[in-house]
Structure 1
Amino acid sequence: MILELVDIRIQPDKQTEFDAAVQRGLEQVIAKAKGYKGHVINKCIETPERYVVQIYWETLENHTVDFRESPAFQEWRGIVGPFFAGPPAVEHFHQLSKSA
């Protein structure tokens, strides 16, 4: 399994609108993508305009090819993109270990 880690900074005073948009985009668009395994949305306490979204994929290609090269990617960006203060930072990880 692959973890996609997305670090998002949004425009000030848009948290309530973004909270709804990011949840809608994940549930209605990304959750239907090939290889999607789950997600977690984390909202920063100290920096309210910062979110870290964790998306779990079966393979790296499920995200980088199957999803990103599909029309669903543009749909996702149409939902959340208007809130971005800048491009999100996206990285992929393999799990090394896990505790309870």
Structure 2
Amino acid sequence: MRTVGRAGRVVLVGMGGDEIPLPLSRVQNHELELTGTFRYAHTWPTATALVVSGAVRLDSLVSHGYGLAEAESALTVATHDATAVKAVIYPQR
């Protein structure tokens, strides 16, 4: 939730604990929409088919690339860089 921009949407997928800490001031000040979903059965075959067909391009989601030695930076980039969408670790770098 801390990386979502103003008026963004946060979707909680699957099952979690009965209670979780919620940064309520962030939700209110940034006017975030928060929703949960549990039923996502049979969605992976559809998603995979969309990617394979080229209808959905995943490359554009990658905002940062790191070598294996920079794994910690890859895992934490979203905490300090608002442009971070998807960090990828390339072991061969």
TM-score normalised by structure 2 residue count = 0.31
More strand by percentage: 1
TM-score normalised by structure 1 residue count = 0.30
Greater radius of gyration (CA): 2
More helix by percentage: 1
Q: Flag the structure with more relative contact order, 1 or 2, with Cα contacts below 8 A and sequence separation at least 6.
A: 1
